[in-house]
Structure 1
Amino acid sequence: MASSSVFFFFILWALLLPLLTFSGPLYFHSIAPNFTSSYFQYIDHSGAFLVSSNSTFKASFTNQSQLSVFHDSSNTIVWSTVTSLPASSKLSLTVNGLTITNETDHVFWSTPKLQSRVAALRLLETGNLVLADEKNASLWQSFDYPVDTLVVGQRLSVGKALSSATGGYRLMVTNSDAVLQWNGMTYWKLSMDTKAYKDSNAEVAFMAVNGTGLYLFAGDELTVVIQVSLAQLGFRIAKIDTDGRFIISSFIGESWTIEFSAPVEHCQLPLICGRLGLCTRRAMSGTCLCPRGFRNGGHLNGECIPADKSVSLPSDCNSSVGLTELNSSVSYLKLDDGMDYFANALTEPVKRGVSLSVCKGLCSENCSCLGIFHGNSSGSCYFLQNPLGSIMSGSTSMKDRLGYIKTLVAHTPENPDEKSPKFPVLGLVLLPSSGFILFVIVIGILCWRRNRILKAADRTLDRCESTSSAELEVLSIAGLPVRFDFEELAAATENFKTQIGRGGFGMVYKGTLPDGTVVAVKKITNLGVQGKKEFCTEIAIIGNIHHFNLVRLKGFCAQGRQRFLVYEYMNRGSLDRTLFGSGPVLEWQERFKIALGTARGLAYLHSGCEPKIIHCDVKPENILLHDYSQVKITDFGLSKLLSPEQSTLFTAMRGTRGYLAPEWLTRSAISDKADVYSYGMVLLEIVSGRKNSSSLTSNQSTEKDSASPSSGLNLRSMYFPLLALEMHEQRRYLELADPRLEGRVLAEEVEKLVRIALSCVHEEPSLRPSMTNVVGMLEGGVALSEPRIQSLNFLRSYGRSFTKESRMETCNKQNEFEMFTRVGAMFNSTTTSGSYNSLSYISSQDVSGPR
């Protein structure tokens, strides 16, 4: 009996020994081929079979047959295969790579074809799962196949993305930014986030997260393009969540701490309130309802449908279209004012400069269009395409952008078994003779009236487009500001008695309207062959641009060939009079407010209105001051009215010498970065209190009028931007401040403006910051850019030319013209960056005429 029991125990032990050998917490740092694992076979409750050298990460084969890498302390998965299979599936490692198969050996997932035979599978301390060959060279690594999480040491290269487990969200790295997208629609950019600092305009190569923050690096792996600085904390990951947020978190102690989350605004998430749900903006949050005219559709994922049951939302092109939709006509439900769509701010319109009816027509003809947003003043037409996301209220973008949701109205006869009667054949048979005569008379009257309306419209259009002296009484364009008669403006200005300014567009006069409002009346000249309709269309756009730092256009006059613009009056005049005049000195705080107000106005023109407006002539004469430190830019948008005839030297050139960006003279494409360059030159003048391209006057000279250490130039006749560059290199910022301030400014305050200014005047437009970033740097929300000396060396050539020309003050205007043309030709023939001269040092007279 005892011997049989011993024999039975021995047999049981022999049978269980293999199972006991492979059960329990057995981990490996490296695994050789011919290895097979399943969730039931290995090892502990997590299915882990591989561990990194310091046990920070483990690799497991989960109960859903996913190969995963997880952070052990927090039990957080940082990488996994996307395949989800029954627990009976198995993982195999062979010399050809990794595979996941089901019970019938069907391959559901595998590594790609490798260049050589696999020698080992290893899990590195960074969390990277690596297949290596006999020479320990990497054949495949999980870091190259990101899922939804980025860990320290991992790179997300351009063209690759983090994808959320559900919801269709992606964080994509482009060659200039990192963007969040939902079904291909962008709703957030890293460069636009208030916590992001742009350090360089170099091309992005990859994104990485480390102990100090999140970074976009250039191809040299050292140059930081954009960064988000974070405190040194614990184990850090960056992840795109299932609701569309991009989150950076640190594991401290036993819990996660969120360090960065974007987008900040709750309502910017594409599907936060479901399909067509209305997200009402609140501070850092939002509430969800259906827009007026819609009701809850009763779906679990949230959807709003038309409250009127006689209309329905159309299907997209890829859906099966029923008979009801085929027999339906299109209509549009208007959304309330102030609403916007999450993608509009970062999406180009389908069409610009079209009316609302045209925009609706484009959408009606396109089965993929499910709604529109239309800019009343800009004429921009945006499509809402499938899938539809949430609507948001309280938009800070275009206030005149209105939304319309496409709907279908079904046309079904009262008795579906009977066909609709054919008219007019059947109608004519049934109508009595008297009714028929009445019918013919009504039709005749309607046709006669229609022909008269069409002819009147044609005559009106002919008069609107004519450049003759015909009056404009018949013209009516939506959005126009007040239209004045010439006689009204003549009376307001006492027959143009008091001239308060002059410029390339004409004279400016002071006037008083009948209600007592003081205005500035600018007479526009040299508009060439531009007709009144085009003029008024431009005025409609300019008149609808409202910003605290832009001079308000109150009205216009287009009578015969007379063109006038009526602006609000700024009682302190232009900045140049206050900054360069002999009156009371501008204190530093007011100079800073002027710099900030000007930057805000330009930022709005570049990115806050549609169509975007490039000023083309930023200079102190076009920056106006009013009581209570009001700062406003004038002449914005007038470049849209300028004709080629107005420039007597270079027809393609706009602006004023001394503020012209180099690209004006090289026939390069002109962008808003030309305004940034001009702003940088103005900022240097605000710091110094003198013109950049003129010698120091007697009241500006001080004991500092000595030789510059590096150039040997006398500061009295030195080109100031070059002096600013040299003092920046030596960190001697206080010597750049207006001496009339007599020390009432700190070195760090001067440094801030000088560094911003030098960054703005980089020779390469791509290296200049946007005006939005300039505002951020001035306000302190964006880190100061470090000027790139290599892109500022052209100032040394400018400086030498200026010094030479300052000794030739007796040259006549013809010599100046010849020199202007000669240097311009040098620009046009130069191909090597930084090797040419500039016109900036020449006297600050207007290219388009005297200011």
Structure 2
Amino acid sequence: MSIFYLLLLFFSFFLCNPSSSTAQQQQEQSFSAFNISNSPWTPTQNRILVSSNNRTFAAGFRQLSTSQQLYIFAIWYRNITDRTIVWSLGRNSTFSPSSSLVITPSGALQLNDSTGKNLFPSVAVGKSNSSSLVLQDNGNLVFENWESFNFPTDTFLPNQLMNNNTLVSRNGKYIFNNSKDLIFNETDVYWSIKFQSLASDGTLVKDNSASWMSADQGASHLRRFTLDDDGNLRVYSLDPSVNDTWRVVWKAVQEPCTIYGTCGPNSICMGSERNSPYCICPPGFQNITGECKRKIPFTGPKDSKFLRLDYVNFSGGSNQTDRQALNFTVCESGCLANPSCLGFGYKFTGKQYCVHQLDRLLYGYWSPATETAMFLRVAKTETDESNFTARNLAILITLFVIELSTGALFFWAFVKKYIKYRDMAHTLGLELLPLGGPKRFTYAELKDATKDFNDVIGHGGFGIVYKGVLPDQRVIAVKRLKNVGGGEAEFWAEVTIIARMHHLNLVRMWGFCAEKSHKMLVYEYVPNGSLAKFLFPNPSLVKSEDGNEGESVETRPILDWSVRYRIALGVARAIAYLHEECLEWVIHCDIKPENILLEDDFCPKVSDFGLAKLAKKEDKVTMSRIRGTRGYLAPEWVKNEPITAKADVYSFGMVLLEIVSGTRNFDFRRSSLQSEDWYFPCWAFEKVYQQKRVEDILDRRIMHYYDSRQHFDMVDRMVKTAMWCLQDRAELRPSMGKVAKMLEGTVEITEPGKPTIFYLGDENGHLGPEDPKVL
């Protein structure tokens, strides 16, 4: 009897003490349609309308807080922990406990406040009192010809068309309007997208039939497209395996500081996509009660000067005057002559122009990607910069005089000290730049972070990569460079170029070390390692229970077709960025699976870019020696032809074929060496175009996942694109920009020619089939 009594107490405790959300759901009365028989519906009745089939969504009155008797009428996800709201009536409209939702005898749907005023849109009128308010499985609340999808708040749901609708952030500061513009303060546009809808598979469909892919495209997750209070558009995907966590799988603006309104007037926004933005005041200004105000006002042209701020841009549109300038002096004098000019931006390379900032300094931000330098107008008596310059100049002159006076006997000591203080000047010069740029590390710092360069995570043509941890617990990858040509000036130039390359699918550089013979680059750590480890798992020796050694395959997730497609598309876009969108033309020269790293969500990031030979866009460059990896080298490397961006296109084509087949190209051999069967691209071409057996080249590890109805178009585009990339003649290969479009499916892909073999041969240019050596 006592055991029964204890069990009764035990179950009574859990029945009477559920979690708050569970208890609330248990107390809620749910129904699938609201009609005149349910009327009226008041906030205190704790009733919800649910989507009848999947029961994913709920609609009804939601109390804003337990301390306030205020409610909103909203739609939310019903079965997740935070019950995320995706729509509310009247955006910020609130209702008292005495409000009620009713259907009148004439069939009108009304939400009356305490005074009897109807706050529901007048279009919500039914044909008769038999009309019902229902919540569809896609989250659309419908009453006759009225539907919530036509009146969004801050969120679009999958397959909800934008049409002429507008999103407004909950704080009311940001708008995503029907012109597809992101707007701050109702007037200032800072980003545009030809957006049409979010598909249920995570594809963002654009007006021109093109599309963008979210990071988990293809997975069966709940998703939403939301304009957040920070002014960024994001696609969220619900990860049920991590406590129902919303994970960002796409966002419109990669650099948060470029969003207008992040910081106030006269401020400079600092931060990156990984670090939260914060605001600082520029030289000549100080923070007074949360605002950046000028320290010393200037009264006229003769009473002012300019302070140079590298990588800083003020991007307010209505208070700028953009114009071409003949030279820097003309731009500067034009600003000096205008009393309302507070500074100017100037671009020193390429097409000359200057931007005068008039009356206000708005939307300032720092980014290595900006092409201009900002010249801030301050009073001539301002000391923020002049004191620093005078102090360092005095130090250098004093040291020089002292060392020179010691004579030839101490000449070598003088040189060593000069180098020491020159390096110090470099460091202090970097500190003048706004925070957030690439940091200069000392050799001792990186040695300590990597535990004396002990944890090797990769090898490359330019050196070994080590894993490390900084004092702030950030995990880093340190590439210790070797065989880097040129002097310190050339190395600094390359580091500057790499630091200014920002793309979702490029590994981000955080810092560098240039200390005597030690040259290192510090990158973000990409946790999943290289694509090669997933495509070509390495066998390893393990001991069985009986003590014998046997061979086993390294256990890693097998990438399905959707993930492989997203990886290929991401890599294509990154290389297209290097070729066509960077300030300087960059040929990678070593594209291979080992240089494609994967994030936790398998978002690809290309590494090892920027260290190969750089050239101007209009030039064709012949490299002094072959760069790259056997199996991925284009024919022009062997033929001593000019090396252009098309060499990278060839390498990408070979990687693309490996992604489809799961086979390393130079490990592929056929028995019939007298034919071209042993050459991987030729064999793949014959299988696809002559034998019409595309399934023969697919990775056998995921053959059982292949569904021709679902995957054929995707795989067909990948194979055809690879064949075009692998053409023997460089001029026949498409540009990487077109390659990305071919993979996206936005351009038609015609039938390519068959790839041909090229040899590294004898004096006649040929090798016998018994010893093929294809690059």
TM-score bin, normalised by smaller chain: 0.3 to 0.5
Higher RCO, 1 or 2 (CA under 8 Å, sep at least 6)? 1
TM-score (norm 2): 0.45
TM-score (norm 1): 0.41
Rg bigger for which structure?
1
